[in-house]
Homo-oligomer: A and B are copies of this chain.
Amino acid sequence: MKYSIGVDMGGTNTDMGLVSENGNIIQRRNIPTNAYTELEPYVRDMMHEIEAMVAEQQALDGQPLTLEGIGIGAPNGNYYTGCVDNAPNLTIKGVLDFGKEIHKYRDVPVVLSNDANAAAYGEYVYGGAKGMKHFIMFTLGTGVGSGIVVDGKLVHGSTGGAGELGHNILIPHGRKCSCGREGCLETYTSARGIVQTYCELKGIPVSSDVTSKMIGELAHQGDLVALKTWETVADQLGLAMANSVTFSAPEAIFLMGGPAQVGEPLLKPLRAAFEKYLLNIYQGSCQICMSELKANEVAILGAAALIKMKSEK
């Protein structure tokens, strides 16, 4: 039997999964990323868990398994170099060459990309984007990420860092962004941006007691400020999505992540704003879809899907 490994490297935890050919996560393990400050012990423990999953699966299958590769989705992951480049949110600093380290333990293809790219590719291989040649994925969370597929291939660009639509400047001289610039999409439609909008509309100081999840619940209870917040976010995200269509004329834009889970308070005004901002030649040609992968599986499946990309090259 053939399997691949998907690794979702987050700032806090690293989730690993053994994934079957048809995209089921058969086994899962995790280690705490923030317990490490060096790559060597981190990869050693990661490989320990991976080998344990492999051994267990071989026992269950009653035969040796073929491991097609290890795919890793990580912040600042660079597909071309296979390295994580100085990710600010990781306790392990510097340029991290995963392939080199992993190959000390096992001779297996290693593919790495940033987490949003991996999520987009997971949607393509295992989710709702199957068979689509052109689509874009927006991931809403602590930040706003994106992954872009053109002609059936993930766009990496000349540097490996393509697809950072969260840092498209939506409103010139707008909100201050953590990247040092102003007006990035992320400052409006990330979880934190949504909280800021709510607090501004409510006329209260921005507080860490407010979460985008709470604002979602309030909207479902009919709270007017919460509803207005999602309408505002929908207008901003709809504009950004419409702008992205002028680039690659995708057949669909996918949406995932915590804030997107709010459902209709966001989606209904989002679809309206999107069509309103869309250039006439694109109207009706691009649908907005929710990711069809489960929230707790998409990162692992996306990482595992990267292996498929490598083997198709």
Q: A residues touching B (Cβ–Cβ < 8 Å)?
A: 76, 132-134, 148, 150-151, 153, 155-165, 167-172, 179-181, 239, 242-244, 246-251, 277, 279-282, 285-286
Contacts and interface: CB of A to CB of B under 8 A. Distances in A.
Contact of A181 (B134, B159, B160, B279): B279
Contact of A167 (B132, B153, B279): B279
A244 B248 CA distance: 11
A73 to B, nearest CB: 17
Contact of A158 (B134, B148, B160): B134
B163 A250 contact: no
Nearest to A135: B158
6 contacts: A134-B157, A156-B249, A162-B248, A162-B249, A165-B246, A181-B279
Nearest to A165: B246
A172 to B, nearest CB: 6
Contacts of A153: 151
A240 B135 CA distance: 21
Contact of A248 (B76, B157, B168, B277): B157
Contacts of A244: 247
Q: Which 7 A-B pairs have the closest CB atoms?
A: A157-B249, A162-B249, A158-B251, A134-B158, A164-B246, A167-B279, A159-B249
B169 A239 contact: yes
A174 B131 CA distance: 38
Given A155-B247, A161-B281, A162-B247, 8 more contacts: A134-B157, A157-B250, A159-B281, A164-B246, A168-B243, A172-B239, A247-B247, A247-B248
Given A150-B150, A151-B153, A155-B248, A164 B277 contact: no
A156 B248 CA distance: 7
B163 A247 contact: yes
Nearest to A185: B246
B158 A249 contact: yes
A87 to B, nearest CB: 11
A212 to B, nearest CB: 22
Contacts of A243: 168-169, 243
Contacts of A279: 164, 167, 179, 181
A220 B285 CA distance: 45
Nearest to A182: B277
Contacts of A179: 279-280
